[in-house]
Amino acid sequence: MEKLKRSLTGFLVPVLSILLAFVIGAIIMACLGANPFAAMAALFQGAFGTVASVGTTLNRASPLIFTALCACFAYKCGVFNLGGEGQFLIGATAAFCAVHLSGAKGIGGILLALLVGIAAGGLWGMIPGILKITRGLNEMIISIMLNYVATLFMGVIYTSWIRDANTPQTPSVDDTLKLSRVIPGMRFTWALIIALGVGLLLYYFLYWTSPGFKLRAVGLNMTASRFNGFPVNRYILMSFLISGAIAGLGGASDLLGTQFRLINGYGSGYGFDGVAMALIGQLHPIATIIVAIFFAALRVGATSMQVATGVPTSVSDIIQALVIVFSVAGMALTKLPEFEAFRLRVSGKKEKEGK
Amino acid sequence: MEEMLRMEHISKRFGSFYANKDVNLTVNRGEVLTILGENGAGKSTLMNILIGLYQPTEGKIFFKGKEERIDSPSQAVKLGIGMVHQHFMLVEAMTVFENIILGDKRSKGVFIDREARRREILELSERYGLDVELDKLITEIAVGAQQRVEILKALYHGAELLILDEPSAALTDIEAEGLFAIMHKLVDEGKSIIFISHKMREVLHISDRITILRAGEVVTTVKCSETDGQKLANLMIGRELSSSQYEKKQAGGQPVLKLDGVRYHEQSKHNGLAGITMEVRPGEIVGIAGVDGNGQTQLAQVITGVIAPEKGTLSLKGKQVSVFDPSDFIENNVSHVPEDRNLQGLVGDMSISDNLVLKATGSGRFSKGRGLLLRPKAIRSHALELAGEYDIRCTSVDQDVRSLSGGNQQKVILARELESGPELLVAVHPTRGLDIGATRFVHDQMIEARDKGVGILLISADFDEILEMSDRILVIFEGQIMGEYSGQNPPIQEISLAMTGK
């Protein structure tokens, strides 16, 4: 019962935030002179209207799911990995270099790329972790800074080392390496299946195993975890490693599934989008996946909305931003003692009425 | 003699509890009045009333002959009452000079006349021998110097009555001597001082008169020249030995815990250990008596592996420990009821059932395959069982442990720690903040564990608890064991004197 109540609050906050964001979005649309209902309908039609559009939405969601799970896992251990973008790009870059330089092809090449992506992302994620536990440096700043390093490193690759003739981009990966579509007619590839698999694995690990339990305890109270004999530093390092590895795997699979080459602007914003989605998903891996798909839908649908009703795509960006603002504020609200008192009063009344 | 301060019939009530009741005291110009009392005797409340943080429920305050209402700290400063807190209130990133002029209302306009302020401060510092370097950052100067800055700051803001709350607590002996010289100089110049301390030697050395508080009330006020340490300790503790409701035992057998010359941060008297040698045998409760902040925290943390001693050895069941890590101690069946239950004992945002299995999720009972798959049903039924056995009052065991009352939170910890089958239990202030019922329950459980053969180390600043529970009593003062006493008819007067360092 108590558990149910808690997850209900956890569920209500994002849902109400989304509704509220849409109401405000509708007001903006009306101010722009468009019919908000028609615009909203176009938005959802664009994202989910046809089999093909669902496929496009899911495909757009794949990289977001990876970076969102990356942020989610680190948060669960009480550390802030804001370097999802850098880890994603390092994963993609390393995977590209590995298959390009080795010339590996086919399924072997795919496996090589994914493994190299995991390793590169994990190692990249470890850097802030190591600096935090050995030198006490702030992991947020280090991981953000490493985003720039990763982006610029990728830049060196596509502008100098492995440039495709005269254009600042790398050549495409070999056709035999490209991840195929799972269902013909829908654009999403096996990258999505990998992402969903990672999400399920994280859910199992965090909620059904003893190390996952301890990791959550470390995230909620490091001092008590230390007093109760958990190797806190080891857990922190592990969370950075795994969190980075998830993003790295995301980079590698997105490279083989959708992107195929390294190019200017690739991956920009994925890291912070991931952080926001993990927060809206209340740091629950499954909920985080749903939120990532929802955000992808808003992005895919925005174009249809613009075409159909003339409402600019930026309104969709505004709605996304509002969802983030409302749900973070909503979560802060539910932590207030006044809210708890209010909740008890309301539920107390209900119980009385029930009698 | 001119009267500086008179407090008449001051009472302060919190709910139905009187922190101060009908307190009368006077401070004359040019004297040091010491306020002596145990932890929780009401000293802090009284001082907070004096500096305007609390309003008295009843009573009057006269300052320099005039009745005053002190409704804010700034009002107290305006009257000329300055307080130097035990934990200094300085801005570390600012210089000494900036800290002293902080909050100065004399500057007109936007700019501060630095030169004039400086001259004024230097004059004061010369007059009272408060030697400080004005341009150093607070972080760059020693603790003794920081205290001089605090005193100088109070004087600069016009204090005529200075309250020094355990001023020697953080100081070395030499620094403390310096402080006493300054205090002498201050009273010679006509300032008055209220001095709060637990150290008998200092109290006798520096005071003119001593007011003794016990349970919120003034016991008496005595002239320093007409008393001695034993008399003061008796007045302060002021109790006859009431027979304990628990049977006291004498235990034999191989000690479960043995400390030999354990040292940790020895130079810090209040947060260090200066050569502790002691042992705990199975089936006995060893009580560590002492005023808060004499190394108890560090002692508990060494014995549970949270910190490693710098010197000396620690043996568990006769085997010397080389690695200090809580997990090794837990494996050796050392249980810990920590000092701060929310910070150190519980994960507040996890449920009662999760907290009850906190350390045991890897065991076969609560998971399959060495922790690869938890058994939620076993975890829940375990929680239901313990909630009944330990009388944990909750609406559901899935409730966050944060939402429980302090007493029920403590029962969760106690249940977890006693159910893990300890051979040694380290309990630090186990009943702090608990009501009578919960306290009684915790005590009963500890006695039951003792009778099952658990060796218990009870660290508590509550003297009554120590007397009630302990089979043997050790007194700790400034990181040293001052003496060992039997728990059977313990010599209260001797122990209370030992607690003050004599």
Q: For B216, left (φ over 0), alpha (ψ -120 to 50), or beta?
A: left
Cα–Cα distance for residue pair B348/A207, rounded to 1 Å: 17
Q: Which residue in B has a C-alpha nearest to residue A230's C-alpha?
A: B327
Determine the pLDDT at residue B240.
64
Question: Cβ–Cβ of A217/B348 closer than 8 Å?
Answer: no
How distant, in Å, are the alpha carbons of B176, B203, B270 from that of B166? 11, 11, 11
B217-223 and B209-214 beta bridge pairing: antiparallel
Query: CB contact, 8 Å: A351 with chain B?
Result: no
Structure confidence by residue, pLDDT tens digits, B164-181: 988 887 777 788 888 999
Rounded to the nearest angstrom, the gap between the alpha carbon of residue B428 and the centroid of all alpha carbons in its chain is 12
Render A60-103 in DSSP notation, one character per residue.
Answer: HHHHHHHHHHHHHHHHHTT-----HHHHHHHHHHHHHHHHHHH-
User: Class of the B3-237 domain?
Assistant: alpha beta
Test the B interface: residue of A204, A209, A234, A335 with most B CBs within 10 Å:
A209
User: Taking residues A311-317, what's their average pLDDT?
Assistant: 89
Domains of chain A: 58-336 (1.10.3470)
How distant, in Å, are the alpha carbons of A78, B255, B305, B329, B386 from that of B325? 21, 21, 5, 7, 28
Determine the pLDDT at residue A160.
86
User: Taking residues B48-56, what's their average pLDDT?
Assistant: 92
User: Taking residues A7-20, what's their average pLDDT?
Assistant: 83
**Domains in chain B: boundaries:** 3-237, 243-333+422-502, 345-420
Structure confidence by residue, pLDDT tens digits, B358-392: 999 989 899 998 889 999 999 999 999 999 999 99
Query: CB contact, 8 Å: B39 with chain A?
Result: no
Question: Cβ–Cβ of B361/A210 closer than 8 Å?
Answer: yes
**Which of B393, B379, B424 is closest to B284 using CA atoms?**
B424
Burial (CB count <10 Å: 0-12, 13-18, 19+), residue A350: exposed
Pick the residue with more confidence: A335 or A143? A143
Determine the pLDDT at residue B376.
93
Q: Which residue in B has a C-alpha nearest to residue A335's C-alpha?
A: B349
Pick the residue with more confidence: B107 or A288? A288
Question: Cβ–Cβ of A213/B399 closer than 8 Å?
Answer: no
Determine the pLDDT at residue B171.
78
Pick the residue with more confidence: B173 or A267? A267
Instruction: Give the pLDDT band of residue A117 (cuts 50, 70, 90).
Output: very high
Render A15-43 in DSSP notation, one character per residue.
Answer: HHHHHHHHHHHHHHHHHTTS-HHHHHHHH
Query: CB contact, 8 Å: A231 with chain B?
Result: yes
Structure confidence by residue, pLDDT tens digits, A239-254: 999 999 999 999 999 9
| The pLDDT of residue B432 is above 90 | no
DSSP state of B472: E
Determine the pLDDT at residue B239.
67
Q: Which residues of B67-97 are buried (b: 16+ CB within 10 A; e: fewer)?
A: ebebeeeeebbebbbbbbeeebebeeeebbb
Query: CB contact, 8 Å: A228 with chain B?
Result: yes
Do domains B3-237 and B243-333+422-502 share one topology? The answer is yes
B325, B367, B399 member nearest A2 (Cβ):
B399
| The pLDDT of residue A66 is above 50 | yes
Of A315-324, B66-75, B409-418, highest mean pLDDT: B409-418
Chain B residues within an 8 Å CB radius of A7: none
B343, B374, B398 member nearest A2 (Cβ):
B398
Query: CB contact, 8 Å: A225 with chain B?
Result: yes
The partner residues of B476 in beta bridges, in order of sequence, read: B481
First to last CA, chain B: 33
| The pLDDT of residue B94 is above 50 | yes
Long-range contacts of B372-379 (CB under 8 A, 24+ apart): B372/A209, B372/A210, B373/A208, B373/A209, B374/A207, B374/A208, B374/A209, B374/A210, B374/A213, B379/B353, B379/B354
Kindly report the nearest CA distance between residue A243 and chain B, in angstroms.
Answer: 20
Inter-residue contact B459 to B426 (CB < 8 Å): yes
User: Taking residues B154-170, what's their average pLDDT?
Assistant: 88
Q: What percent of chain A has pLDDT over 90?
A: 68
> What φ, ψ does residue B479 adopt, rounded to 5°?
75, 10
Determine the pLDDT at residue A348.
58
Contacts of A66 (CB under 8 A, 6+ apart): A88, A195, A198, A246, A247, A249, A250, A251, A253, A254, A274
Chain B residues within an 8 Å CB radius of A214: 361
Cα–Cα distance for residue pair B370/B464, rounded to 1 Å: 45
Structure confidence by residue, pLDDT tens digits, A213-242: 999 999 999 999 999 999 999 999 999 999
Q: How many helices (H) and strands (E) would you count in chain B?
A: 16, 22
Encoded amino acid at A209, one letter:
T
Cα–Cα distance for residue pair B309/B304, rounded to 1 Å: 11
Instruction: Give the pLDDT band of residue B453 (cuts 50, 70, 90).
Output: very high
How distant, in Å, are the alpha carbons of A38, A41, A68, A196, A323 from that of A48? 15, 10, 22, 19, 20
Test the A interface: residue of B344, B401, B420 with most A CBs within 10 Å:
B344
Encoded amino acid at B329, one letter:
F
B334-337 and B424-428 beta bridge pairing: parallel
Question: Cβ–Cβ of A217/B358 closer than 8 Å?
Answer: yes
Test the B interface: residue of A3, A213, A351 with most B CBs within 10 Å:
A213
Chain A residues within an 8 Å CB radius of B326: 226-229
Q: What percent of chain B has pLDDT over 70?
A: 98
Query: CB contact, 8 Å: A87 with chain B?
Result: no
Rounded to the nearest angstrom, the gap between the alpha carbon of residue A323 and the centroid of all alpha carbons in its chain is 15
Kindly report the nearest CA distance between residue B432 and chain A, in angstroms.
Answer: 18
Lowest mean pLDDT among A8-17, A19-28, A146-155: A8-17
| The pLDDT of residue A352 is above 50 | no
Chain B residues within an 8 Å CB radius of A223: 343-344
Average model confidence (pLDDT) across chain B? 90
Q: Which residue in A has a C-alpha nearest to residue B372's C-alpha?
A: A209
Q: Dig out the tokens for A233 from the structure.
A: 């530093």
A213, A221, A340 member nearest B361 (Cβ):
A213
Determine the pLDDT at residue A2.
60
Question: Cβ–Cβ of A223/B344 closer than 8 Å?
Answer: yes
Question: Cβ–Cβ of A2/B396 closer than 8 Å?
Answer: yes
Lowest mean pLDDT among A106-115, A182-191, A225-234: A182-191
Structure confidence by residue, pLDDT tens digits, B213-246: 988 899 999 999 898 888 888 888 776 666 778 8
Of A11-25, A107-121, B137-151, highest mean pLDDT: A107-121
Question: Cβ–Cβ of A223/B350 closer than 8 Å?
Answer: no
Determine the pLDDT at residue A351.
44
Determine the pLDDT at residue B373.
94
Query: CB contact, 8 Å: B367 with chain A?
Result: yes
**Which of A246, A317, A286 is closest to A85 using CA atoms?**
A246
Q: Which of residues 317-346 of B touch A (CB under 8 A)?
A: 325-330, 336, 338, 343-346
SS3 B261: strand
Question: Cβ–Cβ of A220/B330 closer than 8 Å?
Answer: no
Cα–Cα distance for residue pair B224/B467, rounded to 1 Å: 29
Test the B interface: residue of A210, A226, A232, A351 with most B CBs within 10 Å:
A210
Question: Cβ–Cβ of B362/A210 closer than 8 Å?
Answer: yes
Kindly report the nearest CA distance between residue B315 and chain A, in angstroms.
Answer: 19
A3, A207, A226 member nearest B306 (Cβ):
A226
Chain B residues within an 8 Å CB radius of A6: 400
Q: Which residue in A has a C-alpha nearest to residue B302's C-alpha?
A: A227
ipTM of the complex: 0.86
User: Taking residues A270-296, what's their average pLDDT?
Assistant: 93
Q: Dig out the tokens for B381 from the structure.
A: 């039924």
User: Taking residues B329-353, what's their average pLDDT?
Assistant: 94
Q: CATH number of the domain at B243-333+422-502, out of 3.40.50.300, 3.30.413.10, 3.90.226.10, 3.90.230.10?
A: 3.40.50.300
Q: Dig out the tokens for A119 from the structure.
A: 């390793």
User: Taking residues B458-479, what's their average pLDDT?
Assistant: 92
> What φ, ψ does residue B201 adopt, rounded to 5°?
-60, -45
Q: Dig out the tokens for B439 from the structure.
A: 């306290």
Question: Cβ–Cβ of A210/B367 closer than 8 Å?
Answer: yes
